[in-house]
Amino acid sequence: MLRVKLVKLMLLLLTGSVLPQLVIAQQQVTLKDALTYALQNNTKVRNAKLDIEGGRYKVEEVRAQALPQLTGNVGLTYNPIIGQLVANFGGETQAIKLGQNWNSTAGVQLSQQLFNQQVFTGLQAARSSEEYYSLTSQLTEEQIIELVANNYYQVLVNRQQLNVIDTNIKNVKIVEKIVSNQFKNGLARKIDVDRINVNLTNLTTQREQTINAITQLENQLKFSMGMPVSTPIILPATELTEVTTLPVFTDSIDLANRTEVKLLNNQDKLLSLQRKAYVAEYYPSLALTGNYTYSSQSDGFDFLKSNAAAIGYGASAVGLTLKVPIFNGFLTRSKIRQADVNIKKAQESRKESVNSLNLAYENAKIQLRNNLNTIKSQRKNADLAQEIYKSTQNNYNNGLASLTDLLDTENALTSAQNSYTQALLNYKIAEIQLIKSNGNIKSLVQ
């Protein structure tokens, strides 16, 4: 009896541990779910956030140079042979020992920058670097959103193509059954049966290839999300729907809202501060210094006057240190000129980047218009191909159409349906580019 209860308990525990996994495995992953998961788990996004944290520590590192610098030192010295000072006292030459066998010291030193333009400029640059890492993290998130969304729609398109193949296989099997019966009754040729079987085999092979392609695309999607590739996911088929109207277009876009432009502005600021830091090398620097040292000397082992025979004394000093650069072989001038060249290069790169952003926006508008027209025409074409196939199939059943006509219309239907699905994908990708061009790529997550 006890054994039976233990078995039941184990079954309950196993069931409780397995069911949650099954529930998770059956959950559908929408586009928003995929993007939210990616922003939390993608390695590039995480590293970019770590760069932000590292940037804060970089600011603290530079700020430390402007704060007081305090150091301590302790020393113990043994002098086996003590040096002597030879001097003449009252016409008599005498030798005086300089020190004792054991010397010990302990002290502190203080240094505070009062004026150092290089340090102050470096602090400004460090703060700008922190902003740079923040903008880089934001740009990385936008790039990951674009990548995941494209991969997501790729999976949906291939799944729809798989549905098309399954429908075609179902239709061909119906025809194959009819032709086989006709052949048994002497109303069809064996070559007709073979042609149907060849077509069915080709469709089956195409189905296997499409399934493999879907698996690869799903793995790529999970990888871009930062999800373990072994995790099963299900995408709802309703995500890829028919498009009937275009979004509202503007003549131009507000580039100031683009993260890429904000990043360019920050880079310009950093380059300017770098030049300013080089110029600061011409400036003098002023620092406050101070120190205190306590020393002890004894003819026996001693540390800081630990015995009565030891002699201990203290010493301190406070001063100002002014450093004035005079000539360094035109080193600073060369650095400043290199900084000027880098600033000019950044200005040229900005022109190209701005032009590239405008180009992407204009191309996205053109692609959306073209793809919408393609969607409408391919939708009509697919509907017409479906009607032709049904009519040809009916004529074939009544002996009014040949098998060749039926197979040709079936191939035309498959091509039209796949073209329509591909047009939907192209539209979605262009739509993502348009949203990105307007600086609203994160709206896909909302």
Nearest residue to 286 via CA among 435, 112, 85, 93? 112
| Pair of tokens at residue 355 | 């032009």
**Which pLDDT belongs to residue 238?**
66
Q: Determine the 3-state secondary structure of 304 from DSSP.
A: coil
pLDDT tens-digit readout, 159-172: 888 988 998 898 88
Distances (CA, A) of 18 to 22, 104, 205, 208, 433: 6, 72, 35, 30, 42
Distances (CA, A) of 165 to 34, 153, 158, 201, 427: 27, 18, 10, 12, 22
Mean pLDDT of the chain: 85
**Which pLDDT belongs to residue 401?**
83
CB-based contacts of 337, cutoff 8 Å, min separation 6: none
pLDDT tens-digit readout, 58-94: 888 888 888 999 999 999 888 888 888 888 877 788 8
Nearest residue to 343 via CA among 277, 270, 278, 282? 270
Burial class (CB in 10 A: 0-12, 13-18, 19+), 423: buried
What b-and-e string marks burial along 61-82, b requiring 16 or more CB atoms within 10 Å of the CB? ebeeeeeeeeeeeeeeeeeeee
Length of the chain measured in residues: 446
Q: What is the DSSP secondary-structure string of 37-60?
A: HHHHH-HHHHHHHHHHHHHHHHHH
Inform me whether the pLDDT recorded for 24 exceeds 50.
no
Q: CA torsion, points 437, 439, 442, 446, in degrees to nearest 10? A: -100
**Which pLDDT belongs to residue 267?**
93
**Which pLDDT belongs to residue 239?**
60
Helical H segments across 103-189, by residue range = 117-184
Q: Which residue is associated with the tokens 């090398």?
A: 281
423 vs 24: which has the higher pLDDT: 423
CB-based contacts of 303, cutoff 8 Å, min separation 6: 76, 104, 296
The model's pTM:
0.79
Under DSSP, the state recorded for 234 is: B
**Confidence band, pLDDT 50/70/90 cuts, at residue 306:** low
CB-based contacts of 309, cutoff 8 Å, min separation 6: 298, 299, 300
Query: Beta-carbon neighbour count of residue 396 at 10 Å?
Result: 20
pLDDT tens-digit readout, 350-400: 999 999 999 989 998 999 999 889 888 988 998 999 999 889 888 888 878
**Which pLDDT belongs to residue 349?**
93
Q: Which residue is associated with the tokens 């919408």?
A: 372
Contact 26, 235 (CB under 8 A): no
Per 3-state DSSP, what percentage of the chain is helix, strand, and coil (rounded to 5)?
A: 65, 15, 20
